[in-house]
Amino acid sequence: MKLSAKMIEIGGMRRLAIVIACAAFGIATCGSALALGMHVDAATASSASQGAKNNVPAGVMRVGNGVSAPKLIYSVDPKFSNKARHAKYQGICVLSLIVDKDGKPQDIHVVQKLGMGLDEKAIEAVRQYRFKPAYYKGHPVAVQINVEVNFRIYR
């Protein structure tokens, strides 16, 4: 079986039209922010555009571009559900959450399900976590992160 890729050629005028449309959208967005009296800098604009792509709520940043990662300072081990323990079921559950300015987890939801009641147990454990908050320009900020909760049976 032979696989081939087909390139789509974009003519010069069409390419120019796309660039102009993108630039106009960017200018309109910044113009709206300025009209509302908001401060827009490169990191905030970058964070906002990442948020649009990754469904990050307004006012919540992503790690990078000057935003430090929150640091875990307190955690608890997740408990196994009876069903998973009897089946000797193990694996990793991935949770998405917002670490607020006080270092508390908020808006926790499952990104990668594990099943057998372990997703709920992962959320129970992560609700108790505490973090040193993320910082941007010396001030604590809310950030969205993913957390892996590892369920392993040790003998």
Per-residue pLDDT of 16-37, as tens digits, reads: 555 565 555 554 444 433 333 3
Average the pLDDT over each of 4-8, 13-17, 58-62, 99-103 and give the range with the smallest value: 4-8
- What the chain holds in terms of domains, given with CATH numbers, is 12-54 (no CATH), 71-151 (3.30.2420.10)
Q: What global pTM score does this model have?
A: 0.64
Phi/psi at 44 (5° precision) = -65, -45
Using 50, 70 and 90 to split pLDDT, how confident is the model at 56? confident
Distance CA 82, CA 141 (A): 38
